[in-house]
Structure 1
Amino acid sequence: MSKRISAKYKIDRRLGVNLWGRAKSPINRRDSRPGQHGQRRRKVSDFGLQLMGKQKLKGYYANISEKQFRRYYKEAVRRVGDTGENLIGLLETRLDAVVYRMKFVPTMFAARQFVSHGHVLVNGKKVTIASYLVKEGDTVEVRAKSREIPMVLEAVSSGERDVPEYHDVDHKKMVGKFVRVPKLEDVPYPVQMEPNLVIEYYSR
């Protein structure tokens, strides 16, 4: 098992949820935390709930760094409207998240690596920054030389998940359009995300 997959499974077990809805998650077989014998679950405090909410959302997007996640929170606060919805919108406009949602890759972790290795074009130009924020109307496509990569072909043909309606994708041409910034209710999270807990955590 690769370190990357092992790390994902450890996140699932630590949080006690199948964060990405993957069939091979250890949570599907046993509900225990990391460690030789797991750890007993205790009653969770308000702070613990807030921390868990933050860790779930941060972990889902390929476990982005705390520094970067806090920056998204500050930007969400600065913008007009509901802070929680703004936070979800920012996370879903990350290029790696867009590539994942368009089903060009099988996992969020693979999406980050796929972008950083130069396999993705935005409006016809190569972008290698996974945190690049895509705008409404932008086109995202897999480079011609990368369209026969087995991982890409497998992801496109997989019936494990669907492309959400805020993306318009042509898998034959390996190109998609980012239609609009989604709201929380639009995002197909396998588990319940509670951005309000994230806001409470950083507002302490």
Structure 2
Amino acid sequence: MSKRLQSKYKINRRLGENLWGRPKSPVNRREYGPGQHGQARRRKLSDFGVHLAAKQKLKGYYGNITERQFRKIYDEAARRRGDTSENLIGLLERRLDAAVYRMKFVPTVFAARQFVNHGHVTVNGRRVNIPSYRLREGDVIEVRGKSKQLGVLLEAVDSPERDVPEYYDVDHKAMKGTFVRTPTLGEVPYPVMMEPNLVVEFYSG
């Protein structure tokens, strides 16, 4: 098992939830946390603990992005007009790696980051290899030439595990799709309940 896979599963078990809704998650078999103290009775979380867990869950879901990156996204969400928690979700969903995952070009968020890093994707015809690249409404994301035959891509497209959300218009035959609009929290197909309002309280408290 790769370190990346191990760390991903550790996130699931630490939070006690199947964060990505995958059938192979160890949480499906063992609901306790990792490590020698994992089976100890869970203590009731303080308010700070509840807010921290909400932040770790949201941050972990998007490929466990760094605290510095996540804080930067939050600060921008707070500066924008409107509801900060909705702004936060919108900014996270506009990441290129999130888009590649949502369009079912890869099986996991972690694979999406790697897929973009390795230069398999173009945005509006230009090659982009930065996972955090921010999409605009109407942007066209396409898998590059030879990359369209990659096994991981073909397997993900055929997988019945997930559906493509309505804020993308995807043509899996051409291996490209359009980011139609920025979604609201209620439109994002999270397998577990996300509480960005608690993340806002964590940073503003």
Partner deviation per Cα, 1:16-69 (whole Å, 9 max, x = no partner): 000000101011001111113513200111000000000000000000000000
1:20-169 residue pairs with structure 2 within 5 A?
Answer: 20-38=20-38, 39-169=40-170
User: How many percent identity over aligned positions?
Assistant: 71
Secondary structure (helix, strand or coil) at the match of 1:168 reads strand
Gaps in structure 1 of 5+ consecutive residues:
none
Query: Cα offset for 1:145?
Result: 1.2
Aligned equivalent of 2:195: 194
In the alignment, the residues of structure 1 paired with residue 27 and residue 198 of structure 2 have an alpha-carbon distance, to the nearest angstrom, of 23
What TM-score does the superposition give when structure 2 sets the normalisation length? Answer: 0.98
In the alignment, the residues of structure 2 paired with residue 113 and residue 166 of structure 1 have an alpha-carbon distance, to the nearest angstrom, of 23
In the alignment, the residues of structure 1 paired with residue 41 and residue 142 of structure 2 have an alpha-carbon distance, to the nearest angstrom, of 46
Matched AA of 2:187: D
Aligned equivalent of 2:178: 177
In the alignment, the residues of structure 1 paired with residue 200 and residue 37 of structure 2 have an alpha-carbon distance, to the nearest angstrom, of 33
What TM-score does the superposition give when structure 1 sets the normalisation length? Answer: 0.99
Runs of 4+ in 1 over 2 A off after TM superposition: none
- How many equivalent pairs are there? 204
Gaps in structure 2 of 5+ consecutive residues:
none
In the alignment, the residues of structure 2 paired with residue 36 and residue 9 of structure 1 have an alpha-carbon distance, to the nearest angstrom, of 16
Aligned equivalent of 1:5: 5
Matched AA of 1:15: L
